[in-house]
Amino acid sequence: MKRLYRNALIASEDSPKLNQGDVLVEGDRIVGVSAGITGIEDCEVIDCAGRVLMPSMFDIHVHAREPGQEEKENITTCAEAAINGGVTGFVMMPNTVPAIDNAGVVRTVLESARRTRIGPGIYTAGAITKGRKGEELAGIAGMKAAGCVLLTDDGFPVDNPQVLRRAMEYARDHDLPLASHCEVRELSGKGCMHEGRVSYSLGLAGIPSISEEICISRDIRLAEYTGVHLNIQHVTTAEGMRTIKRAKDRGIRVTCEVAPHHLIFNHGHIGSYDTHYKMNPPLRTEEDNEALLHGLKEGWFDVIATDHAPHTPFEKNQDFASAPFGITGLETALPSLHHHFISRGILDWSLVVKRYSAEPRRLMKLPPVPVKEGGRAEFIVFNPERTTTFNREFMKSKSVNTPYLGQTLKGMVERVIFGGQELLAR
């Protein structure tokens, strides 16, 4: 059975212009991309007029919570949330219970992933240290052999620079990127939001920008010394971003990611003590929002990643200081980027395709999935004129700890195609 996606606006990382055309799919391949495909028999025709057809998204920073925290999320519900947001591949973080710190746990989570509808697109990171305690290196060689694609103690920094140095040397020798959650915990202390005028007015302990920035500088220096590929996770400050850019200009192997919520929200949104805005690293200032957006447009950020971090309503309904850090993002990322930036002409679709689809796959040494003849049929159809309301009925994640809960954004993921199969059509 063939399917013809007619009159779509096709997005590419290579051009800011949307090109109108038809996309013909047979099996798991795209067999034709051109304007006005005709003469096709036994073909389902899908009208995509006014819709954007583009490669599906890939997220390198996702907390699936399995094993051990399945009350928040599991790999199956995480996969369904991803599909709902136009994401057909992601990398799971290892801060599970127990931590993903040995080959056996790597194999277990990948076996669970293979049973989901996007199984071949799901990968896992492994912990840098045993139990993510920062003391003793995890079984890096065994995890790599079992299918681990990235090393990180995400959620924690590796406080001991000698331990991190050795981990970087092992990661380099095993051709694995190492991702850093950058924070000086002695500076962060018991902080629960950005340290500044808002934290003072709310009477909440703050996390200063230098906590993140000092650790970024340290980890870059170690990466330069060891030659590892270092990825700095969820950058939030203008100075941290500039530090990374200077390192790139010097030829150091460093990449970095920015989360949609750090582009859109800032510490001013916490005025009502809403724990949906509590995350680590925290929301910073309006000036940081503007600087990060500028860096994304200039290509200083390599990837967009959500840091999808589900928590139960019980946990998030605590007071602000006691509630856990983290918000969900897989389902809201693409509509929020469209609503706040693309629909207003601030960003274009080519940037989103490059930074949230192509470059994340390249960073994980995977081929991108451009919409081209002969390529894999792995794409989405996005309707910029429809709206998406984020409520419990719509969302597929087990947890709905997002600032967008109950809100309506402009744009909707209408169709998701993976391996030639339509996983979502609405």
Q: Which domains does the chain have, with CATH numbers?
A: 2-53+373-425 (2.30.40.10), 57-363 (3.20.20.140)
- Mean pLDDT across 34-47: 87
pLDDT at 242: 98
* Chain centre to alpha carbon of residue 149: 15
- The catalytically annotated residue of 175, 307, 319, 348 is 307
- Mean pLDDT across 383-409: 97
Contact between residue 58 and residue 352 where contact means Cβ atoms under 8 Å apart: no
Whether pTM > 0.95 for this model: the answer is yes
To the query of whether residue 42 is one of the catalytic residues in this protein, the response is no
**Taking 80 as the threshold, does the pLDDT of residue 1 lie above it?**
no
Residue 107 burial by Cβ neighbours in a 10 Å radius (0-12, 13-18, 19+): middle
Q: Which of 100, 89, 184 is nearest to 138 (CA)?
A: 100
**Cα–Cα distance for residue pair 417/414, rounded to 1 Å:** 10
Element (H, E) at 80: helix 75-84
Q: Which of 58, 63, 56, 57 is nearest to 307 (CA)?
A: 63
**Taking 80 as the threshold, does the pLDDT of residue 18 lie above it?**
yes
| Phi and psi, residue 18, nearest 5° | -85, 125
Tokens 């693409």 correspond to 334
SS3 content of the chain, % helix, strand, coil (to 5): 35, 25, 40
Contact between residue 354 and residue 13 where contact means Cβ atoms under 8 Å apart: yes
Tens digits of residue pLDDT in 238-293: 999 999 999 999 999 999 999 999 999 999 999 889 999 999 999 999 999 999 99
